[in-house]
Amino acid sequence: MAIIRRNKDGTIQSDSRGLEPTQSHPALATKKGMAALQETGRAVPPMMFEIAAKINNAKDKPRKLKVLKENDSVALRQVLKGAFDPKIEWALPTSEEIPYKVNDAPIGTDHTLLSHEAKRLYLFTKGGDNTLSNTKRETLFIQMLEGLCAEEANFLVTVVKKKVNNEYKGFTANLVKEAFGWNDEFMKK
């Protein structure tokens, strides 16, 4: 392991004998480069519950907007539209607890990702797939929840119950509309 020391001006110090500069990766020369390298070892993109937690922990609206804009994706937009658009009605029971077995495998090992499963969420909305019986729809939803890690499954349940703002403070419909440039109909302006 090499220890990289910096001079006051930000350049990399010479080796301990002062004979030659220490060799390092060029991205380590700047703070922005260091920040970019922090995420390179990550196997998966940020999960939706992590994005929601970042929004919850952000101190003010500009920071919350920044989190949404930095993590913008088609899947995130689909999930958040389902969470906040009043025209989207879920064809699932929302009043009771959903009976699923929590997937307790460590995050990043034996799970599906909500960002990959988002394309199937139409199956669980009214008018999405009218060929499914309610029993089959609920079974598919439980299977989806059991495939997700516990935190993402919990986030999806809050989305379906349309209670995201109750669980994650400051995560509101107006914030989402502003971040993605949507009008009151949850469509691009």
Residue 78 and residue 21 share a domain? no
Do 90 and 122 meet the contact criterion of CB atoms below 8 Å apart?
no
Confidence at 178, pLDDT banded by 50, 70, 90: very high
Cα–Cα distance measured from residue 75 to residue 71, given in angstroms and rounded to the nearest whole number: 10
Residue 114 and residue 81 share a domain? yes
Residue 110 CB: number of other CB atoms within 10 A?
11
Is residue 186 situated within a structural domain? no
Is residue 188 situated within a structural domain? no
Give the domain extent around 85: 48-180
Residue 96 and residue 133 share a domain? yes
pLDDT digits (tens, 9 = 90+) for 134-149: 889 999 999 999 999 8
Q: What pLDDT is stored for residue 44 in this prediction?
A: 60
pLDDT digits (tens, 9 = 90+) for 150-173: 899 999 999 999 999 889 988 999
Is residue 67 situated within a structural domain? yes
Cα–Cα distance measured from residue 179 to residue 51, given in angstroms and rounded to the nearest whole number: 14
Total domains in the chain come to 2
